[in-house]
């Protein structure tokens, strides 16, 4: 086992990995930019290394600086988390060349699955169902011909990258040329690669992904599915496991397809095979699901899988990277209960979800049975514009889906954040709908049903709480607590002599 690991990331995922390291008796090294010098992940680690300016290209995306930080701190391995360089094959190869261990798949596996066009060809060869479409097209006439053969609507998307960048839905031929130009420009700006592919667009499809896990001894299994159809601009908002749509037979078929996809690239460590699923096609005799892409890293939504399987995925990432065998066969693995995750963002739904920045005047996390919060923030921290506005992942677990939904709504109500605007009311409204309760939410559902959603006006007690929090922090420190207050959550307990 490793003695020391450098975490090449920030925020909640860095802290999540550090917690796993602590439990395994491994020392941790944090890295931080100028903007993160006081961040929670820096304080949580055993030691920390400054790696550059706030801009990601000059810090968290600087592979040479990260590797040198690992060497200088005498770390033996690097965990990339998710985002940044986690799916960069060149970084994985450079880590290994520096005689360090990359906690993730091999550079070859990352490279094979990192290109959407190439990976789709590989999946066809492996017998994995793929969305009807074409790769390797260049001219407008080629795209026009392909779109006519596939049938509108079609989806134009970048061959490299992800996160909804370089992606356009085209409903008719008159929209095609402009969509190609916009997607190509965005793909070049985002990934330095303007290549595109075209696919049939499934308007009422669901996004279902399968967690896979493999070791370096040839063992490869799946850890079941996550339903990720609640999306805004191709970005997931709410995830859950199990999916309310899958039958045991379909779950087994999708799991086998995911394992076949991973085996085609000799995959080891944690990975996720993403599928697009159309229930109507499944009812008509078609398989109903198609390979979308593979994420060769730990997913943001991995906690829901941990809760329903009872496995710590980060523990096993580290243990497998250290050479251990994954001791479970497919028949050993089962789903129990139901888990839901909501991504709490500092963004304002009333302004088109623009990021909200500022000091967190209050940040009181919900507590109780079946509630988990993964976060990289605390009260008093500054939310900047430099990085993703994810404040926390709120995850709940219960014996049934109905009980999990109730628990999540209560947890959202109990999560107190003041100082920035969040999307919590928005997610609460989604959970309240009959479509969500019945599992009928497709990937276009949010855009169709919540495009004009209005932010509810805050109640008086919330405004008073925000004002009190502001008063507490204006002085630069919290006053001594009132001795005769027994309720630890009473706002007066934190205002001390101000009460007089």
Question: Do both 271 and 150 map to the same domain?
Answer: no
Q: Are residues 397 and 355 in the same domain?
A: yes
Domain residues for the domain of 478 are 460-499
| Choice among 122-131, 276-285, 402-411 with the minimum mean pLDDT | 276-285
Taking only the tens place, the pLDDT of each residue in 338-348 is 999 999 999 99
CB hemisphere CA count around 472 (13 angstroms): 25
Which is nearest to 8 in space by CA: 33, 37, 43?
A: 33
Long-range CB contacts (within 8 A, 24+) of 73-76 = 73/4, 73/6, 73/29, 73/47, 73/49, 74/4, 75/4, 75/5, 75/6, 75/29, 75/100, 76/2, 76/3, 76/4, 76/5, 76/100, 76/101
Q: What is the mean pLDDT of residues 195-213?
A: 93
Check pLDDT > 50 for residue 61.
yes
Q: How far is CA 261 from CA 202, 270, 462, in A?
A: 21, 13, 49
Chain centroid, CA 443 distance in Å:
16
* pLDDT tens-digit map of 94-144: 999 999 999 999 999 999 998 888 898 999 999 999 988 998 899 999 999
- CA 239, 187, 450, 199 torsion: positive or negative? negative
Strand-pair partners of 157: 167, 197
Quote the pLDDT of residue 191.
78
Shared domain check, 210 and 189: no
> Coil, helix or strand for 250?
helix
Per-residue b/e over 141-170, b at no fewer than 16 CB within 10 Å? eebbebbeebeeebbbbbbbbbeebbbbeb
Tell whether the model's pLDDT for residue 469 goes beyond 80.
Answer: no
Alpha carbons 24 and 279: distance in angstroms, whole number = 42
Is 372 marked active-site? Answer: no
In this structure, are 390 and 293 located in the same domain?
A: yes
Do residues 181 and 292 both lie within one domain?
A: no
CATH code for position 23: 3.40.50.20
Is there a single domain that holds both residue 191 and residue 220?
no
For residues 226 and 167, membership in a common domain is answered with no
Q: Are residues 216 and 189 in the same domain?
A: no
Instruction: Output the six-digit token pair for 132.
Output: 């009807």
Orientation angle between helical segments 11-23 and 313-321, nearest 10 degrees: 70
Q: What is the pLDDT of residue 450?
A: 83
Residue 206, SS3?
Answer: strand
Calculate the alpha carbon distances from 115 to 89, 162, 262, 292, 412 in Å: 11, 10, 15, 12, 37
Of 297, 319, 372, 401, the catalytic one is 297
Q: Specify if 173 maps to a domain.
A: yes
Per-residue tokens: 164: 């909804």
Residue 481 reports pLDDT greater than 50: no
Mean pLDDT of the 369-395 span: 97
Please say if the pLDDT value at position 386 is more than 80.
yes
Please state whether the peptide bond connecting residue 163 to the residue before it is cis, i.e. omega within 30 degrees of 0: no
Q: If pLDDT is split at 50, 70 and 90, which confidence band does 162 have?
A: low
Instruction: Tell whether the model's pLDDT for residue 479 goes beyond 70.
Output: no
Q: Last residue of some domain: 175, 200, 225? A: 200
* Distance between CA atoms of residues 277 and 251, nearest Å: 12
- Determine the pLDDT at residue 478: 46
Q: What is the structure's pLDDT at 476?
A: 52
Query: Which segment of 21-25, 234-238, 283-287, 410-414 scores lowest on mean pLDDT?
Result: 283-287
* Domain tally, the chain: 4
Would you state the pLDDT for residue 354? 92
Helices 116-125 and 107-114 pack at an angle, to 10 degrees, of: 100
| Cβ atoms of 117 and 130 closer than 8 Å | no
**CATH classification of the domain holding 303:** 3.30.470.20
Question: pLDDT-derived band of residue 482, with 50, 70 and 90 as boundaries?
Answer: very low
Q: Does 268 share its domain with 383?
A: yes
- Indicate if 183 and 140 belong to the same structural domain: yes
| Mean pLDDT within 312-328 | 98
What is the DSSP secondary-structure string of 95-136? HHHTT-EESSS-HHHHHHHHBHHHHHHHHHHTT--B-SEE-S
Q: How confident is the model at residue 489 (pLDDT cuts 50, 70, 90)?
A: low
pLDDT attached to residue 284: 59
Fill in the DSSP letter of residue 229: E
Same domain, yes or no, for 280 and 341?
yes
Task: Count other C-beta atoms under 10 Å from residue 360's C-beta.
Answer: 20
Burial label, 174 (beta-carbon count in 10 A; 0-12, 13-18, 19+): exposed
- Structure-token pair, residue 102: 């990359």
What's the mean pLDDT in 191-216?
A: 92
- Shared domain for 409 and 489, answered yes or no, is no
Mean confidence (pLDDT) of the chain: 91
Q: What is the pLDDT of residue 314?
A: 98
pTM of structure: 0.87
Establish if 359 belongs to a structural domain: yes
Region 191-195: mean pLDDT is 85
Is residue 488 scored above 80 in pLDDT? no
Q: Is the dihedral of CA 91, 97, 102, 108 positive or negative?
A: positive
Q: How far apart are CA 422 and CA 462, in angstroms?
A: 14
Distances (CA, A) of 89 to 63, 95, 116, 239, 400: 11, 10, 14, 27, 40
pLDDT tens for residues 206-262?
999 999 999 999 999 999 999 999 998 888 999 999 999 999 999 999 999 999 999
- Of 23-27, 256-260, 399-403, 451-455, the poorest mean pLDDT is in 451-455
The arithmetic mean of pLDDT across residues 462-486, rounded, is 60
pLDDT attached to residue 423: 95
Percentage of the residues of the chain whose pLDDT score is greater than 70 = 92
Find out whether the peptide bond into 153 is cis, omega within 30 degrees of 0: yes
- Nearest Cα to 192, choosing from 142, 158, 234, 157? 158
Average pLDDT over residues 361-366: 97
* pLDDT of 161: 66
Distance, CA of 240 to CA of 412 (rounded, Å): 16
Question: Are 439 and 245 spatial neighbours (Cβ–Cβ below 8 Å)?
Answer: yes
Query: Widest CA span of the chain, in angstroms?
Result: 78
């Amino acid at each position: 086992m490793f003695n020391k690991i450098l975490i090449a990331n920030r925020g909640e995922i860095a802290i999540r990995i550090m917690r796993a390291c602590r439990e395994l008796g491994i020392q941790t090294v944090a890295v931080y930019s100028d903007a993160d010098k006081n961040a929670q992940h820096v304080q949580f680690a055993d030691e920390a290394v400054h790696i550059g300016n706030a801009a990601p290209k000059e810090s968290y995306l600087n592979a040479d600086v990260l590797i040198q930080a690992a060497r200088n701190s005498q770390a033996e391995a690097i965990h990339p988390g998710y985002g940044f360089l986690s799916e960069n094959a060149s970084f994985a190869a450079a880590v290994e060349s520096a005689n360090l261990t990359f906690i993730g798949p091999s550079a070859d596996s990352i490279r094979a699955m990192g290109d959407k066009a190439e990976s789709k060809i590989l999946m066809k060869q492996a017998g994995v169902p793929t969305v009807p479409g074409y790769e390797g097209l260049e001219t407008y006439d080629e795209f026009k011909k392909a779109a006519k053969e596939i049938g509108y609507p079609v989806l134009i998307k970048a061959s490299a990258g992800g996160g909804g960048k370089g992606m356009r839905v085209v409903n008719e031929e008159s929209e095609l040329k402009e969509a190609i130009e916009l997607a190509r420009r965005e793909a070049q700006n985002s990934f330095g690669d303007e290549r595109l592919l075209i696919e049939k667009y499934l308007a009422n499809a669901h996004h279902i992904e399968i967690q896979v896990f493999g070791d370096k001894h040839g063992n490869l299994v799946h850890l079941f599915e996550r339903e990720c159809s609640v999306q805004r601009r191709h970005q997931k908002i709410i995830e859950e496991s199990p999916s309310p749509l899958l039958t045991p037979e379909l779950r087994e078929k999708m799991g086998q397809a995911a394992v076949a996809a991973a085996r085609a690239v000799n995959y080891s460590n944690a990975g996720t095979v993403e599928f697009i699923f159309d229930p109507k096609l499944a009812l008509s005799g078609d398989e109903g699901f198609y390979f979308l892409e593979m994420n060769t890293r730990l997913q943001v939504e991995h906690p829901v899988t941990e809760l329903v399987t009872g496995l710590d995925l980060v523990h096993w990432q580290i243990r497998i990277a250290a050479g251990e065998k994954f001791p479970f066969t497919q028949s050993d693995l089962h789903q129990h209960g139901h888990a839901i995750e909501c991504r709490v963002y500092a963004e304002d739904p009333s302004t088109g979800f623009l990021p909200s920045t500022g000091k967190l005047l209050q940040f009181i996390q919900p507590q109780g049975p079946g509630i988990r919060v993964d976060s990289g923030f605390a009260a008093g921290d500054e939310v900047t514009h430099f990085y993703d506005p994810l404040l926390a992942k709120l995850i709940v677990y219960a014996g049934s889906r109905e009980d999990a939904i109730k628990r999540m709504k209560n947890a959202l109500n109990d999560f107190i954040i003041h100082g920035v605007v969040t999307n919590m009311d928005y997610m609460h409204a989604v959970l309240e709908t009959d479509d969500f309760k019945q599992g009928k939410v497709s990937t276009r559902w949010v855009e169709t049903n919540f495009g004009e959603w209005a932010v509810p006006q805050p109640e008086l007690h919330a405004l008073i709480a925000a004002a009190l929090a502001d008063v507490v922090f204006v002085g630069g420190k919290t006053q001594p607590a009132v001795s005769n207050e027994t309720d630890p959550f009473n706002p007066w307990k934190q205002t001390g002599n101000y009460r007089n």
